[in-house]
A and B are shown apart, each in its own frame.
Chain A
Amino acid sequence: MTRFIAKRLGLGLITLWLLSVLVFFGSQVLPGDVARRVLGPFATQSAVNSLNHQLGTDKSVFVQYANWISGIFHGNLGTSVATRSSVSSIVFPALWHSAKLAILAFIIVVPFGIIGGVFAALKEGRFQDRLISVGGLSATTVPEFVWAVALILLFALLIPILPSTATPPPGSGFLTSVKFLILPALCLVFVLFGYIARMARAGTIEALDADYTRTAVIKGLPYSTVVRRHVLRNALLPTIAVVATQAGYLIGGLVAIELVFNYQGIGQVLYRAASQKDFPVLQSGVLIVGVVYLVATLLADLAYSLLNPRLRFESSA
């Protein structure tokens, strides 16, 4: 197991380094000039030159890359060229906001998705199965921003019981903060439910057909015990992988939802950084999302190997 983790960490570091190169040099091809973006198209050239010099964006890209990487190794993510505040003070609060939304969405969608999928598998071919499968798939195909607008219209304007924004007033307590996050979390639930339920359903059907399940039934175990001990444990393996891969999407890819709900998550921060050519925020933000994604998949692999004896034994062999 230790070797397995070490190997994954090593690969993760190489991936992050490649990501840093890609995001740094990739962002350089974005059109426009940094200071020009900050000052606007109608600023004088002398003002633009002066700001580029102050920001260090008039240096060569290799020098800028070296400065950035060196800063990261010293725990300094840099300074935003747009807002002049430290990248850490922008990225980490946004990351925390995204994490809160993702956690609430996961708390709702993971159990519902798994229960829905397992229930559909147990009722395979019947009305309940079709309702969950087709309903879940339909909900997934509707873009998240459409869900966002529809939910706001319904629950914030027509029946005003929930706020139309996701950012609570300053000084709000825990329950108020949760209340503000319900609508955006529901959007994610609608988008992810079908996906998770589908994986859980497929895994359950496969496990129900497996020899070990048949053996358990034949040896006289109650059906609920068979499902709980033998079916669910095996059926959930692919679902765990799916849930882990959604972590990256939930942490960095919710731009549309964050924009509609005016929520300062990492997706919105990265989107704004890209449109403003705010390289320090964009580069460090993408790198941090990459770290989150790698950690999430590593944890999923560990959980997968713990639940799957074959993998556990292979890795320890």
Chain B
Amino acid sequence: MMDERHAQVDAIRRRIGEVENDLVDAHAAGQIDRREFVRRGTVLGLSLSTLGVLAGCAQPNVAQVSPPQTKPPQPGGTIRAGIVAPAAALDPVMISDEGGLAVLGQTGQYLVWSDKYLNLRPVIAESWAHDHNGGVWTFKIRQGVHFSDGTPLTAEDVAATFNRLADPVVGSNALSNFAGVLSKGNTKATDPYTVQFTLDAPNGNFPYLVSSDNYNAVILPKDYHGGWDKTFIGTGPWKMQSFTPEQGVTYTRNAQYWGPKTVADRMQLTFYPEEQAQTLGIQGNQVDILAHYSVSGGRALITDPTIRTTQYRSSSHRQIHMRTDKEPFNDKRVRQAVGLLLDRRGMVEGLLATKSDYGNDSPFAPVFRSTDPSVPQRQQNVAQAKQLLEAAGRSSGVRAQLTTLTHFELPDLAQVVQNDVSDGGISLSISILDPGTYYGSSKFGTSPWLDSTMGITDYGHRGVPNLLLTAPLTSKGPWNAAHFKNPAYDKLVAQYVAALDLGAQRTAARKIQLLLLDETPVMFPYYYYFLTAARLNVSGEETTAMGHIDLSRAGFVA
């Protein structure tokens, strides 16, 4: 039996590449745990069954990554979920908000599903592989998949989807993800069920960019030219039955779906424009599930005995930037002092009811496996902060304006920051703007977000830190509100992005984490959890920190 397993492992190791073998070695040497082995293995295109054999057992430890089990749902019925109202037109190419994403995800499907633990699961793609340096990725497309209008899905549809998203003329919302990664025309169908992506530069995390981590990457027919909200065309387990703009959508089971049929017969999504209303909606039994709620808006749900809350770690966070090119934060000792004055524990307990991880002033959230946890956590140290301010010639005090926007707990966070830094003699005046004013044109020179001396900005979840490392922090980053220009940092980020194996990623990550702690252009005080609420008679829902909600397996318990 043992010999047979060894033979099986040897056969697989001969078949897979160098990077994949390094991963197997790292797991065998105890450098990474089983969960991380599975996660990285899926990114590299190894199937779960292969990973199970390589890990020394028939299947990977799936139970480890499953949510707390509730009773299994019974077939039938209508499941009702509340979501935040979509902010704009329901066009898969343009959607940029959580509400639109939740609607899109019921009928639309991605090549790959990035689950709540950041593992990649094949959906429209059956498998994927890369060339020697991660510059070319090849995806095998599932056969027997049909769009809801009956048209069979082929590699041509997949290639057209990604060429459309990467086309600057179309102006899709995915352009920020594909900038410098994938250009129009570089996605080709090499046969009816194979698609090849030739990247602008090698990228070790590319499967995430074509996964559900990228809002807009649902596969559409090759001849799609808009009007999605009339048909809700897609390949998913549900079909749209009726849609009332601004109110909600009703779905029925898609009888031609290629995968397992939905547990419930029907599903209703109700749009809520405001968090208080959705909180009262689930408490008043108007919906069975809330896809997402925040501590600031739904604190009552955390302790409600009639509600089950599911929480997942995420990389959603707030960035507190300080202009590195402008008084008083052009001296890194002043920035370090501000970082040392923050009471992160008070923030996490007071603002987020402990539903959060601590941030360590870099985009490497604890949820990312490439994060090096051995880098010391920055703690509040008022004495050290005062010493730094004195050394910077600022012992007489520092004055600055802190600008932020009306969004969830941000105004409260601004007050906490103001209070914390006052212990070190730093006086902040607070300016709170509406989101439109704060972001302005999102261009340097005409945006309080990008021009303010100090500001607080909200950032949503990403499955990998790539975008968070580049756009807000590299010298040419379009969201670089701190105006941080550091060639050493830029080089490290380039190394991180190109790295295919976890060891190389962690090496670069550690250097980046230490560099950012030293420079402190931006503070990352916490990474808050993604919270989902469900009534006790419901089970089977699956959400992700991106804001996806999969209700195909949801139903009522007996």
* Chain A positions near chain B (C-beta within 8 angstroms): 30-33, 36-51, 80, 82-85, 89-90, 94, 149, 152, 156-157, 160, 163-165, 167, 169-170, 259-262, 264, 268-269, 272, 275-277
Give the dominant DSSP class at B's interface: loop
Q: Which A residue's beta carbon lies closest to that of B178? A: A44
Is residue B128 within 8 Å, beta carbon to beta carbon, of the partner chain?
no
Given A41-B435, A45-B443, 18 other A-B residues pairs in contact with their CB atoms under 8 A:
A30-B436, A31-B437, A32-B441, A36-B441, A43-B173, A45-B442, A46-B171, A47-B168, A47-B175, A80-B89, A83-B90, A152-B284, A160-B284, A164-B283, A165-B281, A167-B270, A264-B246, A276-B88
**B residues contacting the other copy or chain, number (CB 8 A):** 53
Structural contact, A262 and B88, CB atoms closer than 8 A: no
Q: Give, as a whole number of angstroms, the nearest-CB distance from B504 to chain A.
A: 28
**Do B171 and A84 touch across chains, with their CB atoms under 8 A apart?**
no
Q: Report if B147 contacts A (CB, 8 A).
A: no
Q: Which residues of B contact A160 (CB under 8 A)?
A: 284-285
Which of B173, B179, B244 is packed against the most chain A CB atoms within 10 Å? B173
Interface residues of B in 439-470 (CB under 8 A from A): 439-443, 449
Q: Is the CB of B247 within 8 A of A43?
A: no
CA distance A259 to B297 in the complex (A): 14
Query: Do A43 and B436 form a contact, CB below 8 Å, given A152-B284, A170-B244?
Result: no
Chain A residues contacting B479 (CB-CB under 8 Å) are 42
The residue that A259 contacts in the complex, of B88, B91, B172, B277, with Cβ under 8 A, is B277
A82–B97 Cα distance when bound, in Å, is: 12
Q: Do the beta carbons of B171 and A268 come within 8 Å of each other?
A: no
B379 interfacial by beta-carbon distance below 8 Å? no
Residues of A close to B245: CB separation below 8 A: 83, 85, 89-90
Checking B250, B434, B441 against A33 with a beta-carbon cut-off of 8 angstroms, the contacting residue is: B441
B277 to A260, Cβ gap below 8 A?
A: yes
Q: Is there contact, CB below 8 Å, between A39 and B439?
A: no
- Residues on A with C-beta less than 8 A from B88 are 38-39, 82-83, 276
The contact of A164 among B85, B242, B280, B437, by CB within 8 Å, is B280
Residue of A nearest to B277 (CB): A262
- A47 touches which of B90, B171, B246 (Cβ 8 Å): B171
> Most chain-A CB neighbours within 10 Å: which of B96, B280, B471?
B280
Q: What's the Cα separation between A44 and B471 when bound, in Å?
A: 11
Contact with A along B251-266 (1 / 0, CB 8 A): 0000000000000000
Asked if B276 and A260 sit within 8 Å, CB to CB, the answer is yes
Q: Are B97 and A46 in contact (CB under 8 A)?
A: no
Whether the Cβ atoms of A31 and B434 lie closer than 8 Å is yes
In the assembly, what is the distance between CA of A40 and CA of B459, in Å?
12
B375 at the interface (CB under 8 A from A): no
Instruction: Tell whether, in the assembled complex, residue B281 and residue A164 are in contact, meaning their CB atoms are under 8 Å apart.
Output: yes
A48/B273 in contact, CB under 8 A: no
Q: Which of A41, A90, A259, A260 contacts B246 (CB 8 A)?
A: A90
Residue among B173, B179, B277 with the highest chain A CB neighbour number at 10 A:
B277
CB neighbours (8 Å) of A90 from chain B are 245-246
- A261, B244: Cβ atoms closer than 8 Å: no
Instruction: Assess whether A164 is in contact with B175, with CB atoms less than 8 Å apart.
Output: no
* B284-A163 in contact (CB<8A): yes
Residue of A nearest to B479 (CB): A42
A49 touching B171 in the complex, CB below 8 Å, given contacts A40-B97, A170-B244, A264-B246: yes
For residue B87, CB closer than 8 A to chain A, the reply is: yes
Q: Which of A41, A164, A167 has the most CB of B within 10 A?
A: A41
Interface centre among A40, A51, A152 (most CB of B within 10 A): A40
Q: Is B169 an interface residue (CB 8 A)?
A: yes
Interchain CA distance A89-B245 in the complex, whole Å: 9
Provide 10 A-B residue pairs closer than 8 Å at the C-beta atoms, listed in order of the A residue: A32-B436, A36-B441, A42-B176, A51-B171, A83-B90, A83-B245, A152-B284, A164-B281, A165-B281, A262-B274
CB contacts (< 8 Å) of A169 on chain B: these are 268
| Binary flags per residue of B232-252, CB closer than 8 Å to A gives 1, else 0 | 000000000010111100100
Known: A82-B89, A164-B286, A170-B244. A39 touches B96 (CB 8 A): yes
A160 to B436, CA, bound (A): 39
Cα–Cα, bound, A275→B284 (Å): 28
Q: Are B274 and A259 in contact (CB under 8 A)?
A: yes
Query: Do residues B436 and A37 form an inter-chain contact, with CB atoms below 8 A?
Result: yes
- B244 neighbours in A (Cβ, 8 Å): 170
A12 to B168, CA, bound (A): 48
Q: Which residues of chain B come closer than 8 Å to A43, judged between CB atoms?
A: 96, 173, 175-176, 442
- In the assembled complex, B392 has its CB within 8 A of some CB on chain A: no
A35 to chain B: closest residue by CB: B171
A15 to B284, CA, bound (A): 44
What's the Cα separation between A277 and B439 when bound, in Å?
13
Judged by a CB distance under 8 angstroms, whether B272 is at the interface is yes
Shortest distance in angstroms between B174's beta carbon and chain A's nearest beta carbon? 9
Q: Judge if B199 is at the interface, Cβ distance under 8 Å.
A: no
Residue in A46, A50, A89, A275 whose beta carbon sits within 8 Å of that of B436 in the complex? A275
Q: B247 and A167: CB pair below 8 A? A: yes
A262 CA to B273 CA, complexed, in Å: 7
Neighbour of B94 across the interface among A38, A42, A152, A269, CB < 8 A: A38
B residues near A44, Cβ cutoff 8 Å: 168, 171, 175-176, 179, 478
Name the distance in Å between B273's Cβ and chain A's nearest Cβ: 6
**CB closest chain-A residue, reference B93:** A47
